[in-house]
Structure formats: structure tokens, C-alpha cells
Chains A and B, each alone.
Chain A
Amino acid sequence: MQGFRAGAKAKGNGTAPHTLDELGRGAEAVVESVGGERPFRRRLMEMGLVPGTAVSLVNVAPLGDPLEIELRSGRLSIRRYEAALVSLRR
């Protein structure tokens, strides 16, 4: 089971977040690449998560999953394991 709150890992050891699920609440980052199986990553990219896009973590659902992210001035809900496939630029 992953950390209950978003950013738990990142805040814990002070290193920069590697993936979207490690982003702290309210933090912003830039997408480096999207992983996962082909149809899966194609769908994420087609919804605007292409490399170079600014993305921020707005909120975490009360049960810890999914996450609410903002990109291209829209709000999306994305599951934690999906967010883990989005690498962030460091």
C-alpha cells in the first residue's frame, strides 16, 4: 500500500519528487515522460500530459486515492498508480 497522503515520501526524505504521485499538495512540476503500456500512456498524453507540460497536484481524495491534478487550466482526477507512471523533470 502506498503512502496515504500525497507527498508523504517526498516530504519525508527531502528529495525532489520523481513521479507525479510523489508531488506534494499544491506543488507544481513539469512532465518529463509518461510510462506504462501503450494504450494507457497514449490516453494520458492525449489528455494533455505530454512532456514539457506544467502540472500541479491540487488535492487528494479523502480515501487517499485518486489524486486531483491541474494541467492546461483544467482539473483531472487520476489514480495514484497512474500518476506513478508520469515522470517529472528535475
Chain B
Amino acid sequence: MTSRRPLVALAGNPNSGKTTLFNALTGSRAKVGNYPGITVDRRVARLELAGRAVDLVDIPGTYSLAARSVDEQIAVEAMLGLQGVERPELIVFCVDAGQPVRGLYLVLQAQEFGLRVAVALTMIDEAKRAAPPARALSAALGCPVVEVDGRRRRGIAELRAMIGQKLAEADAAASDPRAASVPGWRWQPSAELARHLERVRAALPAEWPDLPAMALWALMSVGNGDELRGVPEAVRRAVAAVPPPEAGGRAAGAWIDDEVVTARYAWLDREVAALCEGAPDRSFTERIDRILLHRVAGFAVFLAIMFVVFQSLFTWSDPAISLIESGFAWLGDRTRELLPAGLMADFLVSGVIAGFGSVVVFLPQILLLFFFIGLMEDSGYMARVAYLMDRIMKSMNLHGRAFVPMLSGFACAVPAILATRTMERQRDRLLTMMVVPLMTCSARLPVYTLIIAALFPAGHVFGILPVQGLMMIAMYLFSVVTALAAAWVLSRRVRPLRAVRLPFVIELPPYRLPRLTDVVRMMWERTSFFLREAGTVILACTIALWALLSFPRQTERDGEFQSRIAAAATPEAAAAVEGERDGERLRQSYGGRLGQAIEPAIAPLGFDWKIGVGIIGAFAAREVFISTLGVVYSAGGEVDETSDTLRQHIRAEVREDGRPVYTPLSGLSLMIFFALACQCMSTLAVVKRETGGYRWPLFLFSYMTALAWLVSFAVYQGGRLFGFD
């Protein structure tokens, strides 16, 4: 494959300035995808060097190549080109000039594999005198070192020139086998370790590089309860054959970790630490932390920031959402005017245009949320959020960083699920995704408003507390409690979500001024990823749901309605008959029949089949429950939660035996069902995209529906036992 562009990888620790450098090198043409089988961003962009074009790929931030989980395994696969990932010709490591040792630890590991590496010494402006001199560091490491300041775009030309030069060397080496790169080990393995390295190396599969470094990777990574993929049984057996130490209590291979990590750090301390003069100046960050991590002021600022994020998603996004909704409604109206009434017009307006609308309507919240996340990540505040909230979040086995997605879940689960990518571990992301949809999102509010207003008295408790307001607050608290309880239970009962005792060691980087272009670029990448990946699923689901609720298109009574409309004396009377007709059509549709078919299942919850139809319609989005009910009750589809007609219909609905369908008890049961059930195809679509399969969205849907059914059942039947009706 000579026509393919060579691949250059950018690697480094988290917070090493990798993303900024990536953006500085490539301008604005990154394409975001996933690494195979896992939802870790794989950003690739074209890099134009003098005379040739290469692809630059971003390797997820890591501290080591040794891995326990699939997430950590990505780095080694991306560097070596395993598991179908393309192998890079050159790896540029971003090393924070202010604290180079931890970053160079990773470089040493890559050099042990004989990989072609170079170092970009980042944050050179911040480190000042603490930075090791590039020339001396280059001599010590035996690879090029370039000083860069990605934020001010300094040193970029030098870095590009160096990449071009290294690639030319790679070309020369490819045509001259004697120039092949030689693995460079900075330390001598003990006789015993060398013996195990040879033994494990003999067991390595053919597709892995036949190197002592690969054997060492296996010896340090493979072991009891690891979650690595693609490790052959022969390798596992070879690693397991390391005898346990004679003095008991320690794991079999722990001495290997001691020997290797200590030897690498000893070299770094001797050769690199000696080059650095003093520590970087942290007084600026310390002054800010004195406020932001203060036990009173820190939480006050934290709550204020979270309030702004929440407000922006909940309130400030509203004008944009309304604009999009009315824009698509306008488009629908114009289309209806242009096309003859019939199947085609219905399909285009209620299926396609409404479907595009239901995708685009998420953009304001997604853009706003990622704007704030970008600011918090780039400024270093996100690490402080995890630091402040860890105590609370860890008691539910959630990651400290899960706080922002959980909070965003109050606005909408879709952007919140996209925001789980700020967590490095798959397990943390999955657990957060599984509980975020339980938070009271804004689409549930119209449903609650309608039911509360229709069924609960407008009076006050103790003369001051409004009953209806209290009901709303109770629903919010209920959602928080269930989400946290669900996290606690799921992390104990569901194996892939189980809390693994991995150290929660995160860096608290210095505060840095965020670069707006980097933030905007991230917003755009996330949004276009959503449109491309999840948007298509949501569009398809909207069309399918439209078909379900629109076919068959004729009912036996259509002729009767037609003549009544023609005979109507006033336009109002004609509209009333049209409403009646639409209700009849919906009841006769496949969706309507499905609602009737599931009635036995939902009757114990206090719901009749008309509510069942509403629940099916609500899959498009929970608030659609209201307009679907409006059509079912022949009150017209234009009703909203404050509509008096719909409230009257609800109060007037009776069962066959004459008892009212809606009572405060059945209303409560219905609200609880909406609070707990995963009545949202967009959420499921996003979870499917983010987890790369049907397994987790199915699990999410099943457990939430089961939970909703059980709790609603308990509330309704329990209430009846106690004499409520």
C-alpha cells in the first residue's frame, strides 16, 4: 500500500497539552471516529509537511503502556499497530516541560519496543527554568526534542520540520534493512526476569512483535481479573507460570513491577531530573486553589458554576430550541402547502421533516454543554470538580467526573450521555450512562405539569406550601435518589459495571487560560459526531414511529366523518369532527392496536389502553405523550400541558364500570412510570452509538422498564390496599 499517507501519532500523559498541539499542527480538519470496539475518540487530521502529506492521529492520554482494561490497552495497540489499528511511522510524545519525568516514563517504554519516537516539550512558557534544556535531553534520550508552546503556536514550524526529517529517515531505513531501529533499554533485567522474558516471548502470537518488550508488557499487564482483549491463552499460561514469592502475601509478579518501574525511574532521576533546575512556579495556581478548593468558598463557587451550566441547558437554550421547533414546523407547513394532501405529504412532514427536527433540536444543549465542558477541561477546573465531589460520588461507585453528566441529565439525557466521554474508563462511562436517564429531564416536565395540574388540588399544605409545587419537587428528589441508588446497585450486581479497585489517582494540573478555538473545535467535533452517528438512528426511529402510528391510513368510519365534515355548519364544528376522525385513525393504527394489546400488562398500574397509546407515542420524546393523548381523546394534536380542554378530558375519562381513569393515585403511578421508564428513543440511540452495540441500550431499556413497572405497580396496588383509588 504505497499510496497510503504515512501515519504519525501524538501521544502523552493526560494534561500534557496534546490536544492543543494537535490542533496547532493540523488547523481545523480533524475527523473524529472511534477506536475499534470501544468508545474512545480517535481523532485523525491531515498534516501538510513540506512536500508531503501525512495523517496525524491522537492517541488517548496515558501514563503507561501496561494495561488492565481495554481503555488502557488502546495506547499500546495504537502505538504498535495491533488489533487492526494502523501502525504509526513515528510517535511524537508530548511531555510537560514543567514535570518531564512522568511523561518521559512513557517515552522509555516506547523506546524499549524500538519504536521511532520524538519528544515535543510542551508548556515551555509555563515551566521556564524548570524545563530541561532540549539539547541535553535529546542527547540523553537519543531522540529529537523540540520545545513547543501550542497555545501561542510557538515551535510548531520546528516540530513540523523535525517530523518531516524523521519520516525521511524512516523511508531510508525501510530501504536499508541494516538501519532498522534497535530496541533501546535503559536498564538491565535481572537474570530471573530475563528468563521469564524469554519464556513469555516464546509464547507470543505471530501478530505481536517478537520482542522482549512485548513479553514484558504481558508480564506486567496480564493477570487475575484483567479485562484485556485479544490475549491468547498461551500468553496467559506463560505469564501465570511465574512462581509466587516464597514469602507469602504478595502477588506472583509484583517483584517484576518493582524491578522494572524502579529501574526506569532510577534512570530518569539520574539522567533527566538532574537537567531540571528547580520546580515550576505554582504560586498562581495555589492562590486560585486557596479559593476554589476552600471548604466554604470552594463549594460556593462550585455550586455557582454548576448553576450556570444547569441554567444554560435548562433555560438559555430554550429560545434556540423554540426557534428550531418553529423553523421545522414552518418547513412542514410550507411542504404541506406545496404537496397534495396524502401519504407523500404525511411522510415528508410527519416523518422526515419531524425526524430531522427531532435531531437538530438537541444541538443547542449539546453545543452549550460542550462549551462549558471545554472551558472546565482546558482551564483545569474539571479535575477540581472530580477532586471536590469524589467523596460523595465514590460512595455510589461513580467517578467524580460523573457529576457534570448527571447534572446535565436534569436538562436532557442525550447531551449528558455524550458528556460521559470526559471519563477515561469504560466502566465509569457505562455506569454513568446507565443512570443518567433516570434524572428528571426537561421532557418529563410537561407530563408532570399536566398530570399534577389535572389531578392534584391547587391548595396548600400548612397554609403556605403549594401542593402542586411540592409534588414537582418530590418528583425531582425521587429521580436523584433512584439514580444514585441505581448506580449503587448496578455497580454491585452487574459485572461489567462492578467497581474495580483501581487507584483513583488524577493529576491536578495548573490553571490555564482556555483557548477559545480549541473549545469551539471540540464543540464542533462532538456535534458533528452526534449528527452523523446518533442523528441517523434518531431520524430512522422517528420515521418508524410515524409509520406505526399512521398505518393503516383508512378506517371504516372515514366515509362517515367525511360526510359529517362536509355537512358541518361552522369551521369549528368541522374541526371537531376532524379531531374525532384523527382519534379514530390513531386508535385503529398499528401503534393504537399495540396500545390495546398491552393493556393487560399496564392495567395493574392503573393505566388503560389509551394511556398505553400515549406511552408508545412518547417514545419519540416524552413530551409527545401529551399531543398523542390529545389525539387519542380527539381533543386535537395541538394541545399542550397547560391546555384546559385536555385537563377536562383527563378528568372526565371513565372506565367501563364508570370509575374515573385518572385519580390522584393513578396519576402518581403514571408520573412514577414516566420517571423510571426509558421512554426515549433518542437516549437509546445515543447509548447505542456510545457503546457500539445493542447490548447496553437493550439493558438500559429493560432494567428501566422493569423498574418502572414494578414501582408503579407497588404504588398503585399498595395505594388501593390502603383505600385510595
Contact = CB atoms under 8 A, between A and B. Distances in A.
Interface of A: 37-48, 50-51, 53, 59, 61-66, 68, 72-79, 82
9 contacts: A42-B220, A48-B101, A61-B388, A62-B388, A74-B99, A75-B507, A77-B505, A77-B508, A79-B390
B280 A46 contact: no
Interface of B: 63-64, 66, 68, 96, 98-99, 101-102, 105, 130, 220, 223, 226, 251, 253-254, 257-258, 261-262, 265, 273, 276, 279-280, 282, 289, 293-295, 298-299, 383, 386-388, 390-392, 394, 501-509
A41 B504 CA distance: 12
Most buried by B among A47, A66, A73, A75: A73
Contact of A66 (B68, B390, B509): B390
Contact of B261 (A50, A72, A78): A50
Contacts of A76: 505-508
Given A47-B102, A82-B504, A61 B265 contact: no
Most buried by B among A40, A48, A64: A48
A46 B66 contact: yes
B289 A48 contact: no
For the complex of A and B, the 5 pairs showing the least CB-CB separation, nearest first, are A62-B295, A63-B391, A38-B251, A74-B99, A73-B279
A39 B299 contact: no
Contacts of A72: 99, 101-102, 273
Contacts of B66: 42, 46
Nearest to A82: B503
B102 A39 contact: no
Contacts of B226: 39
Contact of A78 (B64, B68, B504): B504
Most buried by A among B130, B223, B508, B509: B508
Given A37-B501, A59-B289, A62-B293, A45 B506 contact: no
A57 to B, nearest CB: 13
Contacts of B392: 63
Given A63-B391, A63-B392, A82-B503, A42 B130 contact: no
A73 B273 CA distance: 10
Given A50-B261, A59-B289, 11 more contacts: A39-B502, A46-B66, A48-B105, A59-B293, A61-B391, A62-B388, A73-B98, A74-B102, A75-B508, A77-B504, A77-B505
B130 A73 contact: yes
Contacts of A53: 265
